[in-house]
Amino acid sequence: MDPENCRPLGFLIGLPFAFLALILSLVGLVVWAIGSLLSCVCPCCICCAGIANLSVSLVKMPIKVIRWFIDLIPC
């Protein structure tokens, strides 16, 4: 079987989970904005930088989820 024929199946299976990850990424975007503002106001607050880094990973989550589901489908 050709790899191009079965890869869309992984994409379709992963769409609902990517939608949930998209919602989480929007939450991460808001947290990142707040964390960035707090780290600009008080640069000594190291926890704000950690929260901002966590929220950036949440923003990247939909792409990671779709790629993970596509890689799961064997061809």
CA atoms of 29 and 22, how far apart (whole Å): 10
Question: Does the pLDDT at position 27 exceed 80?
Answer: yes
Evaluate whether residue 51 is within a structural domain.
Answer: yes
Evaluate whether residue 2 is within a structural domain.
Answer: no
> What's the start-to-end Cα distance of the chain, in Å?
7
Evaluate whether residue 3 is within a structural domain.
Answer: no
User: Could you tell me the residue range of the domain that residue 56 belongs to?
Assistant: 10-72
Contact status, residue 75 vs residue 8, Cβ threshold 8 Å: no
Evaluate whether residue 1 is within a structural domain.
Answer: no
CA–CA distance from 56 to each of 4, 9, 19, 51, 71 (Å)? 31, 28, 17, 9, 23
Q: What's residue 5's pLDDT? A: 54
Query: pLDDT tens, 34-67?
Result: 877 877 777 676 666 677 777 778 778 878 877 8
Evaluate whether residue 5 is within a structural domain.
Answer: no
Evaluate whether residue 50 is within a structural domain.
Answer: yes
Evaluate whether residue 48 is within a structural domain.
Answer: yes
